[in-house]
Structure 1
């Protein structure tokens, strides 16, 4: 945060984007595995928000913070208890941060991507094309999302075009949640 302010003089927009997955059923998950996912996905978000909000409040001109959630912020799947819990928590933390800072002209929103063709998703693929087809079938649009589609949602929420949006969760999920 300090380096950003030194370099640019201020902080107007921030993106909190961190996520790791550790897939195993609850009864098999170790405490260390559970903590690691929550430390990265939820505690990391808290630390980012804390320092971003402090800086934006000092500036007295506000700003926009966007948190990267997941479709798993709204639903879940077998074996991802820590991931789903952390991403559900992200939505709650986004709403609290938005509420606490709305009168300071600091907007806090979240994006909920569906399955996006990224290394995180594809590296978890044990069976290549079969896995891809399965992931595509989970979306009403029958395809994976593209990183640039998420970037455009971020640019909207970060911009003045979204000046009356705070505490929002924007699904960018190809219709995953409507199926």
Structure 2
């Protein structure tokens, strides 16, 4: 199950997971994008199902989880990637609406996914692997808006708590601490403020933005048995940003 699958890191991860043999449930709000992606995956011999919905809605998330079980027989892995962020004004100038949206999408969205995915994995008795998208903003202040920094710290906390609670039942939970990546959201931010790219590139040792495919490679590894002894980790995929 991949949330935020209609573009960017989510789309790249869905394509790569499918290429590695996973059956994919694609979840996002943009139905046309999801259906096009599903067709593309199937045209290449993969398996994909679409579940249109918003991670802020527990009912939508539950429907996506049910789609996985009903269509493919089980839910063995999940990439909880849907998110939203903005550079935004200083903390004291932000309004409640921006704060609420930031928390609802980034934190409640992951919370909803964990609450609906974990019971299914427990009932199956075969464990599973869950990957949550956090950010370098989940490690330190990056220049992003204060609510975004707080939200991504919360994702890291939820990840560690879930890993500790369910590790004994074979469920691994990890988070990606993603650096600045060339997604549609990032491109929009750069168009409105070209200094965003300059600032992001300057923070990374590699002096560039990530390609979504590079982040997707880490997702596939964490979802696979190749990372069988990794849980509760906050894995940086940030071009060295967190090292300096």
Shorter chain as denominator, the TM-score bin is over 0.9
Shift of 1:28: 1.1
CA shift, 1:80, in A, is 0.7
- Partners of 2:107 and 2:155 within 8 A in 1: yes
Unaligned runs of 5+ in 1: none
Q: Pick the aligned partner of 2:92 from 24, 27, 30.
A: 27
State which of 115, 132, 135 in structure 2 corresponds to 1:67.
132
Pairing partner for 1:5 from 63, 69, 82:
69
The Cα shift of 1:72 comes to 0.4
**TM-score normalised by the chain length of structure 2:** 0.70
> Are 2:196 and 1:115 aligned?
no
Q: Counterpart in 1 of 2:23?
A: none
Cα RMSD of the aligned pairs, angstroms, is: 1.3
Q: Separation in 1 of the partners of 2:111 and 2:117?
A: 10
Q: What does residue 15 of structure 1 align with?
A: 79
Give the paired residue count. Answer: 178
State the Cα distance separating 1:127 from its structure 2 match: 4.1
The 5-angstrom pairing of residues 36-115 of structure 1 reads 36-78=101-143, 80-115=145-180
Q: Give the TM-score normalised by structure 1.
A: 0.95
> Take 1:94 and 1:78, find their aligned partners in 2: how far apart are those partners?
23
The residue number in structure 1 matching 2:200 is 135
Shift, 1:26, TM fit = 1.6
The structure whose RCO (Cα within 8 Å, separation 6+) is larger is: 1
